[in-house]
Structure formats: C-alpha cells, structure tokens
C-alpha cells in the first residue's frame, strides 16, 4: 500500500511582503514615537502647548471673536470708538479706524497658521523630492538640480519678493508661493546629503539584488529614512514662513483683503501709533514672538533627537 502523501511536495509558505501602505504607516508610527520622546523636554512641552493654543484660537476665531477682521466698533450714538485703550468691552483696545484689536489678533492667527503650514509643506515637499532625485541618481541629474539650487540660494528673498509683488496683485497665495520658492533650497541640500549616505548602505544593495527598480528603492527604501529630517524642516518652515509673511506685510506688501499680525503692525506704523497706542502694537508683536518661539522650542527638541551630539553638548 502506497502512501498517498509520499509524492506530495512540501513547500514553505512565505509570509506576505509588506506593501507600500504598510511601510508608510510604519514610518508614520516611528514619527509618532519620536513626538512622544519630544514631549520629555520641558521646553518642547511649553512650545507644543503654545502651538495648540494658537491652533485652537485660529479654529475658534469665527465663534469667539467679538467682531469681524475689518469690522468697526461704534458707540451707542453711532460714533466710532477710535484709539480706545483696553477696557471690559474691547479687551485689547481699538485702532485708529475703530477696529477691535483682540478680534484682529484672533483672525490674524488663522492667517499665520495658513501661511506657515502651506509654505512649510510646499517647500518641504519640493525640497525633499529634489534632494531624493539629485542624491540618488547623481551624474548630470545631480549637477543640474544642484546648480539650480545654487541659483536659488543667490536670490535674496525680500528684494525679489518686493519686485514680484510690485508687478502682480498682492495676495496671500502669492506670498505663500514666494515663501515656498525661498525655503525649498535648504531642504533639498540637506536631503541630498542624507541620500548620498543612504544609497551606499547594505539594505539598498540587497534591494537592488532582489530586483527592485529605481522608483521602488527611492520611495520605499530611502524616502522613509529621510522623513525625520523632512518633518524637522516642516517645523522650521512654519516658523520661517510666518516671519517672512509678517515682514512683507509690515513693509506694506501683504494681502489687503486679510488681517494678519504683520498688517496690524504696518497699520499702527502708518498711523504713527507705534509709541502712543501701545495696545495696538504690543498684542500682535507678542503673538508673533510667542508663535515663532513655540515653533523653535519644539523643533529644537526634535533636532536633539535626530542628532545625539546636540544632547551631549
């Protein structure tokens, strides 16, 4: 009697290889673990608290703001409340045109977050893609992209932005595009340097030996390893974007249809109230400083995690 199982081949069952979504999800889980480590730093906790506070104010501005961004405050006799100091009705006082400073601060936080996030995400996306392609392929591709980066580094932001806005109609999206054009170059250089190191690692050789193509190696093996740097430059980009938007608005080249902290400072300067009406100048200046400092404290802690030498210093 023959065994019916004698001629049956026993083959080992290979576990399914993780797909692209699984690898990307693993990369994001690693970033979330890094954020939990960031929370161990006291300065990072303060920075994160301030950022969440500004985010809450920006989201709730239409609900909690007593007035609109350009709404004028009137007395009972329909006279405009001009340059009134802080009181129970107008917590931060009013401007020379009778607008509520407290409401303008709330509406300005929405502009700051929008400009910061859009400019940071756009610049990091462009810079990361250029750095990946340039560092991985090398040769004439690297030469062309890096020379273009050198040209971008040679263009000063403020003079270039002022010329462009002078010929075009000032708008918030134009400011965002100008900030993106200014910020991507640093990210590209840093990501390229990281890719030059990563592409010589043994796991990249193993992926090539397994038959992986260039795109698969680039986006599934190398890109997840440069994501921590990209996240760091997102934080730095938010900080820089807010500062550059405030600088352009203070110089009078901001979008006149929105209310930002830089536009508030410009209006106070134009009205000659920089010293006499402190309640018009101090709130936007403190809000801008607090937001920038909060981003710096959070990004500094995250940078120490990426670079152990900073923790030893």
**Tens digits of per-residue pLDDT, 145-155?**
999 999 999 88
Query: Which residue, among 146, 149, 181, 147, has the nearest Cα to 163 in the 3D structure?
Result: 181
Q: Are the C-beta atoms of 225 and 182 separated by less than 8 Å?
A: no
Q: What are the extents of the domains in the chain? A: 40-312
Query: In degrees to the nearest 10, what's the CA dihedral of 76, 82, 87, 93?
Result: 140
125 — alpha (psi -120 to 50), left (phi > 0) or beta?
alpha
* Least confident window among 1-5, 52-56, 121-125, 218-222: 1-5
pLDDT tops 60 at residue 312: no
Mean pLDDT, residues 11-15 taken together:
42
Higher pLDDT, 170 or 59: 59
**Given pLDDT bands bounded at 50, 70 and 90, which one contains residue 124?**
very high
Q: How far apart are CA 165 and CA 294, in angstroms?
A: 30
Structure-block tokens of residue 35: 């954020």
Q: Which tens digits make up the pLDDT trace of 254-311?
A: 888 889 999 999 999 988 888 888 999 999 999 999 999 998 888 877 777 766 555 5
For residue 29, the model assigns a pLDDT of: 62
Query: Which residue, among 169, 180, 185, has the nearest Cα to 115 in the 3D structure?
Result: 180
Mean pLDDT, residues 47-70 taken together:
91
* Least confident window among 96-100, 109-113, 220-224, 279-283: 220-224
Task: Please report, for residues 73, 81, 94, the alpha-carbon distance to residue 77 in angstroms, rounded to integers and kept in the order given.
Answer: 11, 11, 17
Q: List Cβ neighbours of 209 (8 Å cut-off, separation of 6 or more).
A: none
For residue 171, the model assigns a pLDDT of: 87
Mean pLDDT, residues 243-248 taken together:
90
pLDDT tops 50 at residue 10: no
Query: Which residue, among 141, 125, 132, has the nearest Cα to 199 in the 3D structure?
Result: 132
Three-class secondary structure of residue 78 per DSSP: coil
pLDDT tops 60 at residue 104: yes
**Given pLDDT bands bounded at 50, 70 and 90, which one contains residue 103?**
very high
Structure-block tokens of residue 230: 């990209």
- Computed over every residue of the chain, the mean pLDDT equals 83
Q: Are the C-beta atoms of 240 and 179 separated by less than 8 Å?
A: yes
Q: List Cβ neighbours of 159 (8 Å cut-off, separation of 6 or more).
A: none
**Given pLDDT bands bounded at 50, 70 and 90, which one contains residue 26?**
low
Q: Phi first, then psi: give them for residue 281, nearest 5 degrees.
A: -100, -45
Q: How far apart are CA 242 and CA 58, in angstroms?
A: 14
Higher pLDDT, 136 or 4: 136
Higher pLDDT, 7 or 206: 206
For residue 36, the model assigns a pLDDT of: 60
**Given pLDDT bands bounded at 50, 70 and 90, which one contains residue 7?**
very low
Report the topology of domain 40-312.
MetI-like fold (1.10.3720)
pLDDT tops 90 at residue 235: no
**Given pLDDT bands bounded at 50, 70 and 90, which one contains residue 76?**
confident
Q: How far apart are CA 48 and CA 291, in angstroms?
A: 10
For residue 8, the model assigns a pLDDT of: 45
Q: Are the C-beta atoms of 161 and 176 separated by less than 8 Å?
A: no
């Amino acid at each position: 009697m023959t065994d019916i199982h004698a001629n049956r081949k026993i083959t080992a069952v290979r576990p399914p290889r993780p797909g692209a979504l699984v690898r990307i999800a693993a990369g994001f889980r690693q970033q979330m673990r890094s954020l939990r480590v960031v929370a161990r730093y006291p300065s990072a906790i303060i920075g994160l608290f301030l950022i969440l506070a500004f985010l809450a104010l920006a989201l709730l501005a239409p609900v909690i703001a007593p007035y609109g961004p350009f709404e004028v405050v009137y007395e009972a006799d329909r006279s405009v409340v001009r340059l009134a100091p802080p009181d129970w009705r107008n917590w931060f006082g009013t401007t020379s045109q009778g607008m509520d400073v407290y409401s303008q601060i709330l509406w300005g936080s929405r502009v700051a977050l929008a400009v910061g996030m859009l400019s940071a995400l756009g610049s990091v996306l462009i810079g990361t893609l250029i750095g990946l392609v340039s560092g991985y392929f090398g040769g004439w591709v690297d030469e062309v992209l890096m020379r273009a980066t050198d040209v971008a580094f040679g263009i000063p932001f403020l003079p270039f932005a002022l010329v462009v806005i002078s010929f075009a109609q000032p708008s918030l999206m134009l400011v965002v595009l100008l900030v993106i054009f200014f910020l991507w170059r640093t990210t590209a250089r840093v990501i390229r340097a990281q890719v030059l190191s990563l592409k010589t690692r043994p796991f990249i050789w193993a992926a090539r030996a397994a038959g992986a193509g260039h795109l698969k190696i680039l986006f599934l093996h190398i890109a997840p390893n440069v994501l921590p740097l990209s996240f760091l430059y997102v934080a730095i980009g938010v900080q820089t974007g807010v500062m550059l938007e405030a600088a352009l608005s203070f110089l009078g080249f901001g979008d006149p249809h929105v209310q930002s902290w830089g536009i508030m400072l410009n209006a106070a300067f134009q009205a000659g109230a920089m010293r006499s009406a402190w309640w018009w100048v101090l709130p936007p200046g403190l809000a801008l400083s607090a937001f920038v400092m909060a981003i710096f404290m959070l990004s500094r802690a995250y940078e120490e995690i990426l670079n152990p030498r900073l923790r030893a210093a």
